[in-house]
Amino acid sequence: MPITRVYDTKTWLAVIEFQKVAFPRFMEEWDGRVGRKTIAEMDNWLYRPRPLIMDPPETKGILVFIGGWTDEQHGGGGEDISMQSIGDVGYLMFGPMKSMQDPPKRIFEGYSGSLTNERGPNLAIDFITRNYNPRCKLVMYGFSAGGKQVLDLRRKIEHRNTVRPDEGNSLIKVDVLVTVDAAARKVTLGVNREVAGCVVLNRNYYQQVQGNLSNGAPNSVQTSAVTGRTPIRQPIDMTATMRAINIHAHREIEKASLSFAWADIRAALG
């Protein structure tokens, strides 16, 4: 693989993994930056008789969040937003999540949504694979383009579950999938809304107010060929609530559904 920059995404992720071990109770240090404290801790690890590779405590809960379309604002979409403070109301979910994140029992990752690349879902499946265990609760949330991408992500998980015996992987189960007005602007009608069998429960918030460029819709379900499980589908039609907002209904449903979606997540993660 050609080197495109000195400090690339893999290096940044590796630094974060080191910081999680070096500073287990200080999440503010998990920023992937090699500053004074991180360098000092690296020196300590290097020069004292202490193993660098440790078995981390077992993860109890994982949240993967993919927000709305941000291509014009963030250079393509799929950027990690877990450590940032971004204005969109959907990202407020990270505030309460941090209060729940008794390191490392509950962990989370967030990405900006995209209609042009699969960077967020690809990073998410890698994050899940590295941290998941069969006793772990896994919750995924997606709004708008992010809703489309978490639907794509659950297909990646179902495929991984299908080939897992050959690769020695454990079966991944998505306890709750929260989709909020999953859409793709002009190609919204082409969104694959089928929820794969790796999902236990899908809570789907959507609106269909006329005049919006993007609208959600009811999801369908697919029985897993691996487990025989059929997801439980719970559609929440917010069209009547959002009709007064008219052309801004798609943008505003993220805020209107936030307290309900957070309650779904909180109930799943405990």
Check whether residue 125 and residue 258 sit in a common domain.
yes
Check whether residue 110 and residue 34 sit in a common domain.
no
Q: CA-CA distance, 113 to 56, in Å (whole number)?
A: 30
Residue for token pair 């450590």: 83
- The boundaries of the domain holding residue 24 are 9-47
Does residue 169 lie within any of the structural domains? yes
Does residue 160 lie within any of the structural domains? yes
Q: Helix or strand or coil: residue 54?
A: coil
Q: CA-CA distance, 47 to 24, in Å (whole number)?
A: 20
pLDDT number for residue 164: 67
Amino acid at 233: R
Amino acid at 85: S
Task: Report which DSSP code applies to 226.
Answer: T
Does residue 3 lie within any of the structural domains? no
Check whether residue 136 and residue 41 sit in a common domain.
no
Q: CA-CA distance, 8 to 14, in Å (whole number)?
A: 10
Total domains in the fold of the chain? 2
pTM of the model: 0.73
Q: CA-CA distance, 39 to 43, in Å (whole number)?
A: 6
Check whether residue 33 and residue 132 sit in a common domain.
no
> In tens digits, what is the pLDDT along the chain, a chain of 270 residues?
444 455 567 788 788 888 888 887 777 788 888 888 888 888 877 766 555 455 556 778 888 888 887 655 555 566 666 544 444 434 445 555 555 555 557 778 788 788 888 888 888 888 888 888 888 899 999 998 889 999 999 888 988 888 866 555 678 999 999 999 998 877 778 888 999 889 999 999 999 988 777 888 999 998 988 888 899 999 999 999 898 877 788 888 888 888 888 888 888 887
Check whether residue 74 and residue 40 sit in a common domain.
no
Q: What is the CA radius of gyration of the chain?
A: 19
Residue 142: beta bridge partners?
Answer: 66, 179
Check whether residue 124 and residue 247 sit in a common domain.
yes
Q: CA-CA distance, 11 to 33, in Å (whole number)?
A: 10
pLDDT number for residue 87: 41
pLDDT number for residue 239: 93
Return the CATH number at 130.
3.40.50
Check whether residue 66 and residue 173 sit in a common domain.
yes
Check whether residue 65 and residue 30 sit in a common domain.
no
pLDDT number for residue 88: 46
Check whether residue 25 and residue 83 sit in a common domain.
no
Q: Helix or strand or coil: residue 14?
A: helix
Does residue 248 lie within any of the structural domains? yes
Residue 262 has φ and ψ, to the nearest 5°, of -65, -35
Does residue 4 lie within any of the structural domains? no
Does residue 82 lie within any of the structural domains? yes
Does residue 73 lie within any of the structural domains? yes
Check whether residue 119 and residue 242 sit in a common domain.
yes
pLDDT number for residue 98: 54
pLDDT number for residue 267: 87
Task: Report which DSSP code applies to 80.
Answer: B
Check whether residue 65 and residue 32 sit in a common domain.
no
On whether the CB atoms of residues 124 and 109 are closer than 8 A, the answer is yes
Check whether residue 13 and residue 69 sit in a common domain.
no
Does residue 214 lie within any of the structural domains? yes
Q: CA-CA distance, 106 to 150, in Å (whole number)?
A: 19
